[in-house]
Amino acid sequence: MTTKEFKRNDGRKPMELRPIKAKVGVVPNADGSAMYQSGDTIAIAAVYGPKQMHPQHSQNPEKGTLRCTYIMNSFSVSERAKMGPNRRSQEISKITEWALEPVLMLKDYPSQVIDVHVNIIQADGGTRCAGINAASMALAHAGIPMKSLVTSVSCGKLDKTLVLDINGYEDSKFDEGEGSTDIPISVTKDGSLTHMQLDGKISVDQLKEAVQAAREACKEIYDVQKEALKKSVGGEK
Amino acid sequence: MTNESASRKVIVPGEVIVKGKEYLPGEGTEKKGEEIVAMRFGLVEEVDRIVKVIPLSGVYQPRRGNVVIGKVEMVTFNGWVLNIGAADTGFLSLMEVPRFVNKDAMDEVMSIGDMVVAKIWAINQRGIDLSLKQKGLGVIDEGMIMKINSNKVPRVIGKEGSMIKLIKDETGCNITVGQNGLIWVQGKNVEDELFAKRAILFVEEKSYLHGLTDELTKWFKENKK
């Protein structure tokens, strides 16, 4: 251990992820579904379609549409959250669409829509990343052609230290020194970014370092996603 | 790796299946430099250098020539609109019904809710065109309909129909498998039909196994009274 090792509230090392669990096929009625859990954050994603887009005026005859709906269930946080979409969930729905769209071949589905419903049933930081991870697995499970799986992790800066997979406390309550900055990053298998968000202050060098750390961490998460998909076939390696 | 185990591998999108110039990309794959990369989740199959992915899940993708089972959703002035479980609805034109139809009493031939065995004869931007002009196609009047995942249909039929023939022989039922995953089971009594249904569900559940026909023969020995 190095001397200037940063202490995190749950005892993790800065570059350590929370325990991950993933499962495919959790919603029997959906065309594809998946659950992704990172520590105390649990996301469930269900994919319906490709199906005909309704209402008709929303159809795009040139390419298909990806429609994501991110919902944080009222019981997912300790203080009961108000039901229904709000400004935050609308933004994250859009972000999820943008993170997943680059790997899909939407041109093959003119006038059609792929519906992705992401439900956060327990929230403890990094919910949008858990949602994207679950959604990506669910899309693959629904048999939709894609160039790669999408893997997402939230990188963070606590005071001056870079950390991975920040939890609820670190996201909202941490206030030592420079406070906390959350940087959710999504990458494909070959390391190309499909989504990155940042609000807060960080130097260019440190941001580059954060992206690199996220890429490394995503390899670990990717393996979990891959295993979960392969396990769902049953009896096979 | 032996050929046997390579043909059974489960693959996820973005994963490299094989490397080398000699391979050609088939369905569900793409070529990236010298690598063949999967684009769908499923089982890998290699046939003469062509590598393809057999999907395991997802909605039915209609193909020309498929025999499907659909439900009449709407009766229009010149045909019927059928739900065949795909993203698009199928249209069965009056012209494609090989019998005299009185245009004023079209729902006497097929009315809303009827199940129909039909064939896809064209797919275009306007939709899917269906036809009844072939032997074995028409309205279903008895028996029961069951649904499985459309991607499991090839396993239920088996190599050159071996699996479905086994089920037919063992249960004494007449079975029509639609490529969209709807199956029409017609037997002498309900017990036979339910027995056939259980056999088909067994095949669907164990569809990842090798030598499934033998497995099913065993299952029949155990479950037959």
What fold is seen in the domain B3-55?
OB fold (Dihydrolipoamide Acetyltransferase, E2P) (2.40.50)
Write down the CATH superfamily of domain A20-231.
GHMP Kinase, N-terminal domain (3.30.230.70)
CB < 8 Å to A31, chain B: 57-59
Residue keyed to tokens 């379609």: A49
**pLDDT of the residue at B56:** 85
Residue in A closest to B54 by C-alpha:
A143
Residues of chain B numbered 153-192 and touching chain A (CB < 8 Å): none
The pLDDT value recorded for residue B4 is: 43
CB pair distance less than 8 Å for A235 and B209: yes
Q: Which helix (H) or strand (E) holds B167?
A: helix B162-171
- Closest-CA residue of B relative to A148 is B14
Taking only the tens place, the pLDDT of each residue in B149-198 is 999 999 899 889 999 999 999 999 999 999 999 999 999 999 999 999 99
pLDDT value at position A234?
Answer: 65
Query: Cα torsion for B62, B65, B70, B75, to the nearest 10°?
Result: 100
Strands (E), B20-167: 24-25, 29-32, 35-38, 42-47, 50-55, 67-76, 79-83, 90-93, 115-124, 127-131, 138-139, 144-147
**Residue ranges per domain, chain B?**
3-55, 67-139, 144-223
| pLDDT > 50? residue A97 | yes
What pLDDT is recorded for position B2?
39
Regions of chain B where pLDDT drops below 70: 1-8, 225
Determine which of A124-128, A136-140, A233-237, B209-213 has the lowest per-residue pLDDT on average: A233-237
B40 inside 8 A of chain A by CB: yes
Question: What is the rounded CA–CA span in Å between residue A144 and residue A30?
Answer: 13
B28 to chain A, any CB pair closer than 8 A? The answer is: yes
Q: Please determine, for residue A216, whether its predicted confidence score (pLDDT) is greater than 80.
A: yes
Among A145, A233, A236, the residue with its CB nearest the CB of B40 is A145
Query: For residue A102, is pLDDT > 90?
Result: yes
Query: What is the pLDDT, as a whole number, of residue B225?
Result: 64
3 state DSSP class of B93: strand
Tell whether B127 lies on the interface with A, counting CB pairs under 8 A: no
Q: What is the CATH number of domain B67-139?
A: 2.40.50.140
| Interface test mutation site (partner A, options B36, B57, B153, max chain A beta carbons within 10 A) | B57
Identical topology for domains B67-139 and B144-223 = no
Close Cβ partners of B56 (under 8 Å, ≥ 6 residues apart): A143, A233, B41, B42, B43, B151, B207, B208
Say what percent of chain B tops pLDDT 70.
Answer: 96
Q: Is B25 an 8 Å CB contact of chain A?
A: no
Structure tokens given for B172: 């004494």
Contacts of A181 (CB under 8 A, 6+ apart): A156, A157, A198, A199, A200, A201, A202
CA distance A235 to chain B (A): 8
Contact (CB<8Å) A49/B59: yes
Q: Any idea which residue has 């050929």 for tokens?
A: B3
Which DSSP string do the residues of chain A spell out, in sequence order?
--TTPPPPTTS--TTPPPPEEEEE---TTSSEEEEEEETTEEEEEEEEEEEE-SSGGG--SSS-EEEEEEEE-GGGSSSPPPSS--HHHHHHHHHHHHHHGGGB-GGGSTTEEEEEEEEEEE-SS-HHHHHHHHHHHHHHHTT--BSS--EEEEEEEETTEEEES--HHHHHT--STT-EEEEEEEE-TTS-EEEE--BS---HHHHHHHHHHHHHHHHHHHHHHHHHHHHTTSS--
Which of B14, B32, B88 is CA-nearest to residue A229? B14
Residue B152 to residue B56: CA distance in whole angstroms: 7
Select from B15, B39, B58 the Cβ nearest to the Cβ of A31. B58
B144-223 is classed in which CATH architecture? 2-Layer Sandwich (3.30)
A142-170, pLDDT tens digit by residue? 999 999 999 999 999 998 899 999 999 99
Is there a cis peptide before residue B98, judged by omega within 30 degrees of 0?
Answer: no
